[in-house]
Amino acid sequence: MAEFTMELNDEQKEVRDWLHGFAADVIRPAAAEWDEREETPWPVIQEAAKVGIYSLDFYAQQYFDQTGLGIPMAMEELFWGDAGIALSIVGTGLAAVGVLANGTEEQIGTWVPQMYGDANDVKLAAFCSSEPDAGSDVASMRTRAVYDEAKDEWVLNGTKTWATNGGIANVHVVVAVVDAELGSKGHASFIVPPNTPGLSQGQKFKKHGIRASHTAEVILDNVRVPGSCLLGGEEKLDERLARARERAKAGGGERVKNAAMATFEASRPAVGAMAVGTARAAYEVALDYAMTREQFGRPIIDNQGVAFQLAEMRTQIDAARLLVWRASWMAVNGKPFIAAEGSMSKLFASETAKKVTAQAIQILGGNGYTREYPVERMHRDSAIYTIFEGTSEIQRLVIARTLSGMSIR
């Protein structure tokens, strides 16, 4: 087990500088254009694939970094460049985490490489959990998976929403209900291979922020997938459902986690790192502006009202990063989140991003409110961090339940 450290090693620093250069030279110059176009930035994704950033090898190296700092460091630098484009680059990672967290070795080896493709043939993946009537309330999920024993196939029907890369992905990971009586404990995850009949894209959403990232509904109409596409396999599912039924009969007991929750728990610190990147970007713009913008014959940072805001912004960003790094180290080294440290990191970092980007606009004044300066876009982008992969309200609920051991509603 690696000891917790706040210092990147030489190799990590080299990777960080490489990512920062890509974010500065490739992502940032393209950010405003793709935000306006509200389209997937394929040229940037392809460039990321060419240099090795959009690849299974790079993702695996960071994911299995025993210090836990590989993923948050990478996320912070890419999202420092631009949140929408960065999410297009890393969006496949959520589906990959879903397979890594729940799949067998054979499933991981078969499907995760197909999610990325290669530099000459870039692929995408999508993780599909939320539904029109089941976002935070996962127990209300309606998408069903029914096993056809005669054909050894699962039949999926339902509608998913808010899916990053939904409908345009080559591989979809879909969470569905297999036992409705067990609520959220009766869910399972399935791989939907490329070109599977019955899967189609529904509405594509026009969003407030992260507009370079494709977000859409996914329609599942009698989608048939082989039995081997059940993540974790049938035996593991049967054992989990049996435990859930026994605990239900006993009136509760130890919590049984479903596949979607396992994916979100693994990814929450990474979302916190995304928020840190956006917050840091806005802070740096505001600091530079405050030091060069003159009013009444002096830089505006000479005013305590501005200087104190910048001091608070930097303090909150550093605090958010430390919470993210701690949770990331704990997750990689198998330490349980006994105080919901993963949710803490996402909650604080996402709220920090919203606050810091709003303060950056205030410091820039009228200029900050225009699209001539990037803080307006950063503020729009930051709103998503308090919503996706568990709203801030859900994070507070998770933390409170973990600390108290009570079913707070």
pLDDT digits (tens, 9 = 90+) for 364-391: 999 999 999 999 999 999 999 999 888 9
Using an 8 Å Cβ cutoff, are 313 and 362 in contact? no
User: Residue 320's CB: how many other CB atoms inside 10 A?
Assistant: 26
* Structural domain includes residue 409: no
Tokens at 164, concatenated? 């990053």
Total domain count, the chain: 3
**Do the domain assignments include residue 110?**
yes
Sequence-distant (≥ 6) Cβ neighbours of residue 136 within 8 angstroms: 390, 391, 393, 394
Looking at the structure, tell me whether residues 57 and 143 fall in a common domain: no
Q: Specify whether 116 is located in the same domain as 129.
A: no
Residue at 116: amino acid letter: Y
Q: 341-364 and 392-404 are packed helices; what angle lies between their axes, rounded to 10 degrees?
A: 140
In the structure encoding, which two tokens stand for residue 6, read together? 């706040």
CA dist., res. 232 & res. 189, Å (int)? 9
pLDDT at 92 over 90: yes
Are 175 and 112 in the same domain? no
Q: How far apart are CA 141 and CA 139, in angstroms?
A: 6
First to last CA, the chain: 37
For the stretch 3-38, pLDDT in tens is 888 889 999 999 999 999 999 999 999 999 999 999
Residue 137 has a pLDDT of 66
Query: Above 70 in pLDDT, residue 154?
Result: yes
Asked whether residue 265 carries a pLDDT value surpassing 90, the answer given is no
Neighbour-count burial of 12, counting CB atoms closer than 10 A to its CB (0-12 exposed, 13-18 middle, 19+ buried): middle
Evaluate whether residue 374 is within a structural domain: yes
Residues 196 and 65 in one domain: no
Domain presence at residue 230: yes
Residue 266 clears pLDDT 70, i.e. is over it: no
Task: Please tell me which residue, 258 or 331, carries the higher pLDDT value.
Answer: 331
Cβ count within 10 A of residue 232: 19
Query: Is pLDDT of 180 > 50?
Result: yes
* Cβ(166)–Cβ(214) below 8 Å: yes
- Look up residue 145 and give its two tokens: 């998976």
Q: What letter would DSSP give residue 3? A: P
Catalytic residues: 389
Write down the pTM of the prediction: 0.92
Judge contact between 359 and 97, C-beta under 8 A.
Answer: no
Half-sphere exposure of 241 (CA within 13 A, CB side): 17
User: Which of 90, 107, 122 is the last residue before a domain boundary?
Assistant: 122
Banded pLDDT at 140 (limits 50, 70, 90) = confident
Domain termination site, one of 207, 228, 249: 249
Q: What's the DSSP call for residue 170?
A: S
Whether residue 253 is predicted with pLDDT greater than 70 in this model: the reply is: no
Handedness of CA 117, 45, 131, 186 (dihedral sign): positive
Residue 271 pLDDT level (bands cut at 50, 70, 90):
very high
Share of the chain above pLDDT 70, in %: 95
**Does residue 162 form part of some domain?**
yes
Does residue 375 form part of some domain?
A: yes
Categorize the per-residue pLDDT at 288 as very low, low, confident or very high, splitting at 50, 70 and 90: very high
Whether residue 235 is found in the same domain as residue 324: no
- Which residue segment(s) compose the domain that 355 sits in? 259-404
Residues 145 and 160 in one domain: yes
Judged against a pLDDT cut of 80, whether residue 257 lies above it is answered with no
State the pLDDT at residue 133: 81
pLDDT at 256: 45
Assess whether pLDDT exceeds 80 at residue 225: yes
Q: Across all residues in the chain, what is the average pLDDT?
A: 93
pLDDT at 51: 97
| CATH code for position 361 | 1.20.140.10
CA distance 12 to 73: 8
Q: Which two tokens stand for residue 176?
A: 């569905």
User: If you average pLDDT over residues 346-354, what whole number do you get?
Assistant: 98
Same domain assignment for residues 289 and 300: yes
Residue 224 shares a structural domain with residue 297: no
Mean pLDDT of 89-118: 94
C-alpha to C-alpha distance for 38 and 44, rounded to whole angstroms: 14
| Burial (Cβ within 10 Å: 0-12, 13-18, ≥19) of residue 371 | exposed
Domain containing 192 — which CATH number?
2.40.110.10
Q: How many CB atoms lie within 10 A of CB 105?
A: 7
Decide which of 70, 103, 122 is a domain's last residue.
122
Query: Does residue 206 have a pLDDT over 80?
Result: yes
Question: Residue 264: its pLDDT value, please?
Answer: 60
* 3 located within any domain: no
Q: Is the pLDDT of residue 255 over 60?
A: no
Cα 256 from Cα 243, distance rounded (Å): 8
Q: Which residues of 64-90 are buried (b: 16+ CB within 10 A; e: fewer)?
A: ebebbbbbbbbbbbbbbbbbbbbbbbb
- Is the pLDDT at 262 greater than 60? The verdict is no
Position 202 scores a pLDDT of 97
| Helix boundaries (H) for 293-391 | 304-332, 341-364, 375-382
Q: Are residues 108 and 131 in the same domain?
A: no
| Section 136-163 average pLDDT | 91
Q: Are residues 397 and 280 in the same domain?
A: yes
Q: Which residue has the higher pLDDT, 52 or 63?
A: 52
CA dihedral in degrees (330, 332, 338, 343; nearest 10)?
A: 90
Q: Is residue 350 part of a domain?
A: yes
Side-chain-facing half-sphere of 330: CA atoms under 13 Å: 23
Q: How many CB atoms lie within 10 A of CB 112?
A: 22
> Mean pLDDT throughout 273-292?
98
Q: 189 — phi, psi (to 5°)? A: -115, 145
Characterize the bridge pairing of strands 125-128 and 171-177: parallel
For the cut 50, the answer to whether the pLDDT of residue 254 exceeds it is no
Are the CB atoms for 358 and 312 separated by under 8 Å?
no
Tell whether 22 and 61 lie within a shared domain: yes
Tokens of 41: 């930035």
At 264, is the secondary structure helix, strand, or coil? helix
Q: Which range, 124-138, 139-153, 241-255, is most confident?
A: 139-153
Q: Indicate if 108 and 224 belong to the same structural domain.
A: no
CATH classification of the domain holding 67:
1.10.540.10
